[in-house]
Structure 1
């Protein structure tokens, strides 16, 4: 049975998102533990974060056949992965973060609106960098 369109695909996407988010949370928690001088807690969080990364990679490997969890684009080769990455970076720069900034501003949260706007600029720079790399790669297909 093909994975695309199944409830299992939806579960893998949700599990990937949760594991990836947990990884970042644990690294943030480790940083705080370091600041507070809790070396053992910091190491525990870093070790757990690495395990969460392994879980996320496992989910993503299964999802390659169904497409990128964020963009739906095909994954696998470096070129395909770059194309999926650029699609996400452009969406964040042109749509997601500007809309988040608009909403934050409507709600009177200027500092958060400014944060989202700065992220939109950074994501646009990421997209430009990826585009330049894809251009330099040209039509090369051997292993890319």
Structure 2
């Protein structure tokens, strides 16, 4: 059985998604606590969000090594490879995912959410374009690495 057909692969993908979502939820909860004037609670949520990020990144490390990008299925690795996966992921979001989500939301009578999904499709198209531009420039040698002496001060 290949790794991508294994239950472990599915578990890693689910764990990565869960930890990533926990990070975003706790980040939002920290903002709520700050608005409520509860810095201790906000700090607890922020630190927990950071921990969840660490967990998610470790899951992604295993996924990248064994199966590629959990969103696109494309390989992950160096920046050229990662940009290709990012372009594919963002393109899927603006061409298929968000338009379909908007259609369903509108069909179900959720016009405000449909409009939100349509806005996100436009944003994801912009993101795809930026990633594609960087990919094109990197392939053409148009993105230079900073001098090592300069880089250590960045």
TM-score (norm 2): 0.88
Q: CA deviation at 1:78?
A: 1.0
1:102 counterpart residue number: 103
Q: How many residues align?
A: 142
Q: CA deviation at 1:84?
A: 1.0
Please, what is the CA RMSD of the aligned residues?
1.7
Q: CA deviation at 1:2?
A: 5.7
Q: Deviations over 1:42-80 (max 9, x none)?
A: 110000000000000100111112111111000111111
Answer with 1 or 2: which has the greater Rg.
2
Task: Structure 1: state its 5+ residue gaps.
Answer: none
TM-score (norm 1): 0.93
Q: Distance in 2 between matches of 1:114 and 1:46?
A: 31
Task: Structure 2: state its 5+ residue gaps.
Answer: 146-154
| Runs of 4+ residues deviating >6 angstroms | none
1:49-64 correspondence runs (5 A): 49-64=49-64
Q: CA deviation at 1:3?
A: 2.9
Q: CA deviation at 1:41?
A: 0.6
Q: Does 1:39 align with 2:35?
A: no
CA contact under 8 A between 2:93 and 2:121: conserved in structure 1?
yes
Q: Distance in 1 between matches of 2:91 and 2:33?
A: 35
1:19 counterpart residue number: 19
Q: Distance in 1 between matches of 2:23 and 2:123?
A: 22
